[in-house]
Structure 1
Amino acid sequence: MGGLPAGRVLVVGGGIGGLAAAIALHRTGWDVTVHERAAVHEDAVAAISLAANGLRALDALGVGEAVRGAARPQYTGGTRTPDGRWLSRMDGAALERALGDPVTGIHRSALHRLLRAALPADRLVHGKEVTFEELHARDRTGGLDADLVVAADGLHSRIRTALFPGHPGTAYSGSTALRAVTAEPVDPGTDFALTWGPGSEFGHIRLADGRAEWHAVLNAPAGLRHADPLAVLRRRFASWHRPVPQLLAATRPEDVLHHDVHELAVPLPSFVAGRTALLGDAAHAMTPHLGQGACQALEDAVVLAAELAAGPDLPAALARYDSARRPRAQAVSRAARQAGRMGQQLTHPLALAARNTALRLAPSKATVRAVLRHADWTPPRLPG
Structure 2
Amino acid sequence: MKVVIVGGGIGGMSLALSLCAAGLADIDVYESAPAVRELGVGINVLPHAVRELAELGLQDELSRIGVPTADYTYYSRHGQQIWREPLGIAAGYRWPQLSIHRGELLGVLHRAVLKRLGPGRIHTNHQLSRFGNRDDGGIWAEFIGRDAAGVAARAEADLLVGCDGIHSTVRNALYPKGDPLRWNGVLMWRGVSQAAPFLSGRSMVNIGSSKRRTVVYPISLVPDQRNGSLINWVATCQVSTSGMPPQDWTNLAERERVVETFADFTFDFLDVVQLIRDADVIYQYPMVDKDPLPSWNFGRTTLLGDAAHPMHPVGGNGASQAILDARVLARELASRQTIESALSAYDSQRRPATAAIAQSNRKAGPHRCQDLVEERAPDGFNDILDVMTRQELEGIADDYKLTTGSEIDRLNNRESLSVPSSVESRPEPDASSAP
**TM-score when scaled to structure 2?**
0.77
Task: Give the counterpart of 2:108 among 97, 104, 114.
Answer: 114
Q: Which residue of 1 aligns with 2:417?
A: 380
2:296 & 2:369 partners in 1: Cα distance?
29
Q: Which residue of 2 aligns with 1:220?
A: 239
2:16 & 2:351 partners in 1: Cα distance?
20
Counterpart amino acid of residue 123 in structure 1: R
1:186 aligns to 2:214 (yes or no): no
Residues 45 and 180 in structure 1, CA contact (< 8 A), matched pair in contact too = no
Q: Which residue of 1 aligns with 2:125?
A: 127
Return the offset for 1:334. 1.2
Return the offset for 1:197. 4.1
What count of residue pairs does the alignment treat as equivalent?
A: 371
Q: Which residue of 2 aligns with 1:154?
A: 165
Task: Give the counterpart of 2:94 among 77, 100, 108.
Answer: 100
The C-alpha deviation readout for 1:86-108, integer Å capped at 9, x for no partner, is 11112236x64432234320111
Q: Which residue of 2 aligns with 1:369?
A: 398
Return the offset for 1:224. 4.5
Residues 175 and 220 in structure 1, CA contact (< 8 A), matched pair in contact too = yes
Q: Which residue of 2 aligns with 1:46?
A: 41
Specify whether residues 360 and 72 from structure 1 end up closer, same or farther in structure 2 by C-alpha distance, changes over 3 A only.
farther
1:115 & 1:285 partners in 2: Cα distance?
21
Consecutive unaligned residues of structure 2, counting only runs of 5 or more, are 143-153, 222-228, 422-435
The higher radius of gyration belongs to 2
Q: Which residue of 2 aligns with 1:325?
A: 350
The C-alpha deviation readout for 1:230-277, integer Å capped at 9, x for no partner, is 21111221221232122113212xx2111112111x211112212011
Return the offset for 1:333. 1.1
The answer to which structure, 1 or 2, has the higher relative contact order (CA under 8 A, 6+ apart) is 1
Farther-moved stretch of structure 1 (166-175 vs 242-251):
166-175
Q: Which residue of 2 aligns with 1:261?
A: 287
1:263-278 to 2 correspondence within 5 Å? Answer: 263-264=289-290, 266-278=291-303
2:27 & 2:254 partners in 1: Cα distance?
41
1:296-315 to 2 correspondence within 5 Å? Answer: 296-315=321-340
Return the offset for 1:186. 2.7
The C-alpha deviation readout for 1:267-316, integer Å capped at 9, x for no partner, is 11112212011000111111111211111100000000000000201111
2:122 & 2:244 partners in 1: Cα distance?
33
Specify whether residues 247 and 123 from structure 1 end up closer, same or farther in structure 2 by C-alpha distance, changes over 3 A only.
same
Return the offset for 1:381. 1.8
1:74 aligns to 2:69 (yes or no): yes
Return the offset for 1:39. 3.0
Higher helix share: 1
Counterpart amino acid of residue 122 in structure 1: G
Runs of 4+ in 1 over 4 A off after TM superposition: 40-43, 134-138, 224-228, 340-349, 351-360, 363-368
Counterpart amino acid of residue 46 in structure 1: V
1:117 & 1:149 partners in 2: Cα distance?
22
Task: Give the counterpart of 1:19 among 6, 13, 18.
Answer: 13
Specify whether residues 134 and 344 from structure 1 end up closer, same or farther in structure 2 by C-alpha distance, changes over 3 A only.
farther
Q: Secondary structure at the match of 1:290?
A: coil
**TM-score when scaled to structure 1?**
0.86
Residues 214 and 233 in structure 2, CA contact (< 8 A), matched pair in contact too = yes
1:97 & 1:299 partners in 2: Cα distance?
21
1:323 & 1:228 partners in 2: Cα distance?
40
Q: Which residue of 1 aligns with 2:179?
A: 168
Return the offset for 1:20. 0.4
Q: Which residue of 2 aligns with 1:195?
A: 207
Task: Give the counterpart of 1:91 among 86, 92, 96.
Answer: 86
Q: Secondary structure at the match of 1:112?
A: helix
Specify whether residues 349 and 84 from structure 1 end up closer, same or farther in structure 2 by C-alpha distance, changes over 3 A only.
closer
Counterpart amino acid of residue 161 in structure 1: N
Q: Which residue of 2 aligns with 1:36?
A: 31
Specify whether residues 308 and 231 from structure 1 end up closer, same or farther in structure 2 by C-alpha distance, changes over 3 A only.
same
1:41 & 1:237 partners in 2: Cα distance?
34
2:397 & 2:253 partners in 1: Cα distance?
38
Q: Secondary structure at the match of 1:68?
A: helix
Residues 198 and 344 in structure 1, CA contact (< 8 A), matched pair in contact too = no
1:60 & 1:43 partners in 2: Cα distance?
23
Counterpart amino acid of residue 140 in structure 2: D
1:89 & 1:350 partners in 2: Cα distance?
20
The percentage of counterpart residues that share the same residue type is: 26
Q: Secondary structure at the match of 1:130?
A: strand
Return the offset for 1:348. 11
Q: Secondary structure at the match of 2:109?
A: helix
1:178 & 1:42 partners in 2: Cα distance?
21
Q: Which residue of 2 aligns with 1:139?
A: 140
2:37 & 2:257 partners in 1: Cα distance?
22
Return the offset for 1:155. 0.5
2:261 & 2:197 partners in 1: Cα distance?
21
1:173 & 1:165 partners in 2: Cα distance?
23
Specify whether residues 101 and 261 from structure 1 end up closer, same or farther in structure 2 by C-alpha distance, changes over 3 A only.
same
